[in-house]
Amino acid sequence: MQSPAQTHGTSEHTTRLETPLQGPKQRWWFVWDPLGIIFVIATWALVLSAAWILVRDVLKPSNNKLYSVPNGVGFHLLTFLALVSHLRTMLTDPGSVPLRNPPGPDTVCYCPFCLSAIPERVYHCMVCKRCIRKNDHHCPWVNNCVGENNQKYFLLFTLYIGLMSTHVLLLLGIPVVRSHARGEWNARSTVSPPAPIFFLFLVALMGFILALVMFCIQMCAIYKDKTTNEMMYRNKDSQGRQSMWDNMKTVCGPRVSLVWLSPFHPPERYKASAQRNMA
Ligand SMILES: [Zn+2]
Ligand SMILES: [Zn+2]
C-alpha cells in the first residue's frame, strides 16, 4: 500500500550517506495484524495437514519402499525448506526506515505517517505502519512486507511451495494416468477419491497456482529491476536500472551457489548492514 509523500529539499543535510537499515540482531520483527496472523496459521495448517494426509493415505499404504521412502524424504525436505523460508520472510525486518528518520543526501521525500525522511524506492506500508526499502508488496500469507532484506526468503518460499505442490500432484496424478493407459477405464468410469485425498488434491492445486503466480511476478519484477508496487502503480523509470542477472545477485547474493537455495543464509547485503549496525 502506498502513501503520498511530501517532497523535501536535501541540500542542507549532509551528515548521513544513506538511511540506515535495521539489522537482524537489533530487534524483534513481527507484524501484529490479525488478518495476517490468520493467513499464517492457515498456511501452516494447510501445509502440515497435506503432509500428514500424504504420508497416511498415499505413502504408508504402499508396500514398495523404493516408492514411499524417497518420496517421503523428498516431500518432507521441501516442506521443511518451505516453512523455514516462510518463517524467515515473516520474522525478518524487510528494510524498515526508522521512525522520524532524519534527512540525508539521499532523501527524496517525507513520509507523513512515520514523519521520516525517506530515500528513493521507499514506500510506506499501512499494515506494517512503517516505510520499507524497496517495498515490493505486503503479503498477508507471510504477514509482512516483502522488501530488500527478505525478498530472497519470499522467492524461496514460493519456489518450495510450488515444488511441494507439483510433487503431490504428480504422486496423485501418475497412478490415474497409468491406470487409464492400461485400459482400466471405460466410458462410464469416474474418479471418486476418498475425501482426504480430494482435500489433498485441492490444497496441492491451490498451492501450485498461488506459488506459480507469485514466483512469476517476483521473477518478472527482478527481470525489470522493479518492485511489484512499481510495476502495478508507477509508470516512471520504465527502463530497469540493473540487468536481470545483477538484480538476481542483489536479491540472492553476489556469488551463484547453492546458498541461493538456502533459507538459512541471508543475502550478503543484509549481513553487511547487520555488521555495520552492530559496530
Ligand atoms: Zn512511512
Ligand atoms: Zn507491510
**228 vs 12, more confident:** 228
Q: Please tell me the predicted confidence (pLDDT) of residue 27.
A: 66
Q: Please tell me the predicted confidence (pLDDT) of residue 23.
A: 44
Percent of the chain topping pLDDT 70: 83
Give residue 100 CA to ligand 1 midpoint distance, Å.
9
Q: Does residue 23 belong to any structural domain of this protein?
A: yes
**182 vs 90, more confident:** 90
Give residue 65 CA to ligand 2 midpoint distance, Å.
45
Q: Please, which residues have CB less than 5 A from ligand 2, an ion?
A: 125, 127-128, 138, 145
Distance in angstroms (rounded) separating the CA atoms of residues 37 and 45: 12
**Which ligand sits nearest to residue 117's alpha carbon?**
1
Q: What is the average per-residue pLDDT within 43-70? A: 94
**Which ligand sits nearest to residue 93's alpha carbon?**
2
The answer, yes or no, to whether residue 271 has pLDDT greater than 60, is no
Report the half-sphere exposure of 212 (CA within 13 A, side-chain side).
8
Q: Please tell me the predicted confidence (pLDDT) of residue 15.
A: 35
Q: Does residue 118 belong to any structural domain of this protein?
A: yes
**Which ligand sits nearest to residue 123's alpha carbon?**
1
The answer, yes or no, to whether residue 8 has pLDDT greater than 70, is no
117-150: pLDDT as tens digits: 998 889 999 999 999 999 999 999 999 999 999 9
Q: What is the average per-residue pLDDT within 226-243? A: 72
Q: Does residue 74 belong to any structural domain of this protein?
A: yes
Give residue 26 CA to ligand 1 midpoint distance, Å.
20
The answer, yes or no, to whether residue 65 has pLDDT greater than 50, is yes
Q: Does residue 230 belong to any structural domain of this protein?
A: yes
Give residue 185 CA to ligand 2 midpoint distance, Å.
51
What count of other Cβ atoms lies within 10 Å of the Cβ of residue 232? 12
* pLDDT-based confidence at residue 10 (cuts at 50, 70, 90): very low
Q: Please tell me the predicted confidence (pLDDT) of residue 188.
A: 73
Q: Does residue 4 belong to any structural domain of this protein?
A: no
Residue pair 227/136 in contact by the 8 Å Cβ criterion: yes
Give residue 193 CA to ligand 1 midpoint distance, Å.
51
Distance in angstroms (rounded) separating the CA atoms of residues 229 and 95: 15
Q: Please tell me the predicted confidence (pLDDT) of residue 2.
A: 42
Rg of the chain in Å (alpha carbons): 22
Structural domain including 221 reads 15-180+191-278
177-228: pLDDT as tens digits: 888 888 887 777 777 789 999 999 999 999 999 999 999 999 999 988 888 8
Give residue 242 CA to ligand 1 midpoint distance, Å.
26
Q: What is the average per-residue pLDDT within 256-264? A: 92
Distance in angstroms (rounded) separating the CA atoms of residues 234 and 90: 26
**Which ligand sits nearest to residue 124's alpha carbon?**
1
Number of compact structural domains in the chain = 1
Question: What average pLDDT does the structure give for the chain?
Answer: 84
Percent of the chain topping pLDDT 90: 57
Q: Does residue 186 belong to any structural domain of this protein?
A: no
Q: Does residue 174 belong to any structural domain of this protein?
A: yes
Q: Which three cell numbers stand for residue 66?
A: 523404493
* pLDDT-based confidence at residue 88 (cuts at 50, 70, 90): very high
Give residue 276 CA to ligand 1 midpoint distance, Å.
23
31-48: pLDDT as tens digits: 999 999 999 999 999 999
Distance in angstroms (rounded) separating the CA atoms of residues 110 and 95: 17
Give residue 44 CA to ligand 1 midpoint distance, Å.
30
**Which ligand sits nearest to residue 126's alpha carbon?**
2
Q: Does residue 185 belong to any structural domain of this protein?
A: no
Which residues participate in catalysis according to the annotation?
Answer: 139
